[in-house]
Amino acid sequence: MQDNKEVKTEFKPKILAFCCNWCAYAGADLAGVSRFQMPTDVRVIRVMCSGRVPPELIIRALANGLDGVMILGCHPGECHYSEGNYLTRRRAHVLKRLLSYIGIEPDRFQLGWVSAAEGAKFAAVVKETTDKITALGPNRWVDKK
C-alpha cells in the first residue's frame, strides 16, 4: 500500500468499553462532570455489573475488527453485587489466553477498576488504553483469516 505510512500515523483505534452501572459508568460520568479531557476513541456500553459481559461477546467484538475492548468495573471487594467483578477477573485470565491462542493480541482486551469517585482515573484509563491500542496498530485478525 502506497500510503501505508500515512495510514499508520493517522490510525485512530476503535475501542469499546463495557462499564458497570455502579462504579465505572458513574466514574465516567464524573469525568464528564469534571470536564476531564481525553481521547475520543472509546465508546461505552453500560451494563449493570462487569460480570454481565460474557467472554464470547469480547471475542465477537475483536473478531468483528474492533481494535480494543475494555471491561471496567468496581474495585475488587466493591462490586455492587458483591462478587461480580471476581467472576470478571477470573474470566479475564482465561480470555487473555484464549485470545492469544486464536491469534488476537491479548492486550487488545483490558480489564480495569474505576470507582464512582474516580473520574480522573477513568480519564487516565481511557488515555492509557488508547495509547496502548494505538501502539498495537489496527486489529488485523479479520485479515488473517
Partner 1 sequence: MAVPRIGVFICHCGTNIGGIVDVPQVVEYAKSLPYVAHAEANMYTCSEEGISSIKHAIKEYDLNRVVVASCTPRTHQPLFRNACADAGLNPYLFEFVNIREHCSWIHMQNRREATEKAKELVKMGVAKARWLDAQEEFESDVYPAAMVIGGGVAGMSAALNLANQGFEVHLVEKEPELGGRLLKLNRIFTINKDPRELVESIVKAVAGHSKIRLHMPAVVKAASGYIGNFDISVDEGGKEVSFKVGVIIVATGAQVLKPELYRYGELANVLTQLDLEQRLKDDKLGEFQNVVMINCVGARIPERPYCSRVCCMTAIKNAALMKEINPEAKVYVLYRDLMTYGVEFEEYYREAKGAGVRFIRYTPSNPPQVIGTEKVESVRVYDELMGMELELPCDLLVLATPLISNNDSEELSKMLKVPIGDGGFFLEAHIKLRPVEFAMDGIYVAGSCRWPADIRESIAQGYAAASEAAIPLRQGLVKVEAITATVDPKICKGCGTCALVCPFDAIELKESEIRGLEGKIVSEVNTALCKGCGLCAAACPNGAVQQRGFTDMQLLSMVNALSGKR
User: Should residue 74 be labelled a site residue for ligand FES when binding is judged by CB under 6 A?
Assistant: yes
**Single-letter amino acid, residue 137:** G
User: Should residue 79 be labelled a site residue for ligand FES when binding is judged by CB under 6 A?
Assistant: yes
Closer to ligand FES by CB, 122 or 139: give it. Answer: 122
User: Should residue 23 be labelled a site residue for ligand FES when binding is judged by CB under 6 A?
Assistant: yes
User: Should residue 4 be labelled a site residue for partner 1 when binding is judged by CB under 8 A?
Assistant: no
User: Should residue 52 be labelled a site residue for partner 1 when binding is judged by CB under 8 A?
Assistant: yes
73 binds, among partner 1, ligand FES, none (CB under 5 to 8 A by kind): ligand FES
* DSSP 8-state secondary structure symbol assigned to residue 76: T
User: Should residue 109 be labelled a site residue for partner 1 when binding is judged by CB under 8 A?
Assistant: no
User: Should residue 95 be labelled a site residue for ligand FES when binding is judged by CB under 6 A?
Assistant: no
* CA distances from residue 1 to 5, 31, 43, 90 in whole angstroms, order as listed: 9, 40, 29, 41
Give the whole-angstrom CA distance, residue 145 versus residue 135: 22
Whether the CB-CB separation of 28 and 19 falls below 8 Å is answered with yes
Q: Is 49 helix (H, G, I), strand (E, B) or coil?
A: coil
The span of 16-24, 93-101, 103-111, 129-137 binding partner 1 (CB under 8 A) equals 16-24
Lookup: cell for 102: 486464536
Q: Is 52 helix (H, G, I), strand (E, B) or coil?
A: helix
Q: Which residues contact 102 (CB under 8 A, 6 or more apart)?
A: 59
User: Should residue 21 be labelled a site residue for partner 1 when binding is judged by CB under 8 A?
Assistant: yes
By CB under 6 A, name the binding residues for ligand FES.
20, 22-23, 49-51, 73-74, 79-81, 84-85
